Chains A and B, each alone.
Chain A
Amino acid sequence: MSATAVSPLITVEGVHKHFGSHHVLKDVTTHFNAGEVAAILGASGSGKSTLLRMLNRLETHDAGRIVVDGIEVNDDARALEKLRAEVGMVFQQFNLFPHLTVLDNVALAPRRVRGLNRDQAAERARELLERVGLAAHIDKHPFQLSGGQQQRVAIARSLAMQPKVMLFDEPTSALDPEMVKEVLDVMKQLARSGMTMLVVTHEMGFAREVADRVLFIDQGRIAADAPPEQFFGNQDNERVSAFLGRILH
């Protein structure tokens, strides 16, 4: 990318994070451009989820700087709400609102944050739920859906805010194997539509097929950052090879 291009959508500069005495992230510096799909891999406890969660301040960073879409990520509550409205997040455990219907789960934030009226929000929610293949379930409550369906509702819920970037925190890790595909299919479709996506995952197939870029986090540092062909191809990094060996059997 040329130097005259627009500044990156997300900039992470010299970021550190401690949990007590545990140094989770060590001097992490990277950036993500609009339209990019990045897969973030690493062993559990490597700090990959923490890195993702710092981008919308579900975790604080102890040192360094994070800028998302021109907004400095810090404790300024107003700026934070604005930032979060632009950053969608999908969780491992779905975190749907159990007391609301599927439609209301998706329509709530556009009404409250974007100021849409009830009909506009419902209309947008219906379109998105149709897109993720759940048009028939809009009046159900989350507990009536399978894990895969719930996660697709969660994706639609984030998309309803029309975010500039979507963060996925192990979106298929809590799913039964037969439901992983339906969620990954929705994510692939989203990637093709040009959405900027950061995906913490253990789905190597998805990383290889869909990602523009694979980041490997090891012991709190970015140990590798390469296009998937290179990452999964001739790998000269020992730790990456060891990790891939464990994952791919």
Chain B
Amino acid sequence: MTAPPDPTHRGPDPAAALSLRGLWKKFDDKIAVAGIDLDVPAGSFFGLVGPNGAGKTTSLSMATGLLRPDFGTAHVLGTDLWAHPDAAKARLGILPDGVRLFDRLTGAQLLTYAGLLRGLDRPTVAERTEELLAAMDLAADRDTFVVDYSAGMTKKVALASAMIHAPRVLVLDEPFEAVDPVSAANIRDILHSYVGGGGTVVVSSHVMDLVQRMCSHVAIIAGGHVLDAGTVDAVRGEQTLEDRFVDLVGGRRGTEGLAWLRTSSDSS
């Protein structure tokens, strides 16, 4: 098996926050990601959208060092992630989807753990832990075990532990899933001010509306390929992002069929 040729033959963009070239991953006989090229400009709020099973999580895992790609490279601010993982990971904050946390720790302990693992000193960790708990509305639950947190609280504490070392790039897989609207708005504010301060955020989501309102750039991926990428306005053109997405990905069907589901037609 040989690497599929990169059609554009462009090297990685050293100025980009995240620069992926020819990422390729196969699980058993299923190709999850089939040669993804993507540049996330530094300072952008980047949305990654795609239908279920499009390869979003696989791509983000390979872009952040959680999953070894079969082929391809990932550069974080010009550093080759898979060649120099330590240097690249220090600039990355990651919120993976579908992994456990060390949930026998309390919220405060988990954040402390993440901070100390990143090599921060104790006063810094203590200060940032407090501020993050407050920002995530978790201050009241700081001494509760994470295993007893609700799904939304778990997401928030995982997000906080991804930010504690003040990374230059945040990669968040489905950060708003199960998070209540008030907390979601607070998190969006935090992320916006982080981008305003020069940081880069990559989020994956299925919620087109949210991506259209929140993000400056977007990439649409399906079937393991990037279908379109660029600024949100360039990608969506005159349409809403949702219509553009459906046009690209396809799969909409008419409303005929399922006639029996109309309760008015059958009163039994």
Chains A and B belong together in one complex: no
List B residues at the A interface (Cβ < 8 Å). none
List A residues at the B interface (Cβ < 8 Å). none
